[in-house]
Structure 1
Amino acid sequence: MATTANRVSAQTSDEINNRLRWQMEERLAYYEAHPDQIAARLAELDREWDIERTLEANASSLAFTGTILAATVDKRWLHCRQS
């Protein structure tokens, strides 16, 4: 069983893994040659949302919308239907 650290790469084709590795090495070489750009890139990465943060925001928005609809439109918005 793949560990958490390599679970995705273990399920990805060698061609894609090699391309990703090459792209990473290219980026590292660029920032090694341009160390003044590192702080700006780190700030840019800090502003990006990862998938977990996106999913949490989406779930919170849906729950809040359901609560508002139940309070203003119809109480049936609170009903959870299970099959």
Structure 2
Amino acid sequence: MLNKSELSGQAIPESAWVKSSFSGAGSGGDCVEVAKIEGGRALRDSKNPSGPKLFFTNAEWSAFVEGVQADEAGLV
């Protein structure tokens, strides 16, 4: 399993980035993009693709997705 520094050290090709399916035309361009990388996922702001990125291990990403699906934040 890769650690955070190993995740963040990976080169991510532009073709790996996918815009969130919830980033519709009405959002004013406020979008996040996710890239599947070895050992996890990377997130970035689509308006600032060369800016900072967040890195999640596979376990962290799974926990995040499960939490969203269960509406643990009470946002849905």
The normalised TM-score by structure 2 is 0.27
Bigger-Rg structure (1/2)? 1
Structure with the greater relative contact order (CA < 8 A, sep ≥ 6): 1 or 2? 2
The answer to which structure has the higher helix fraction is 1
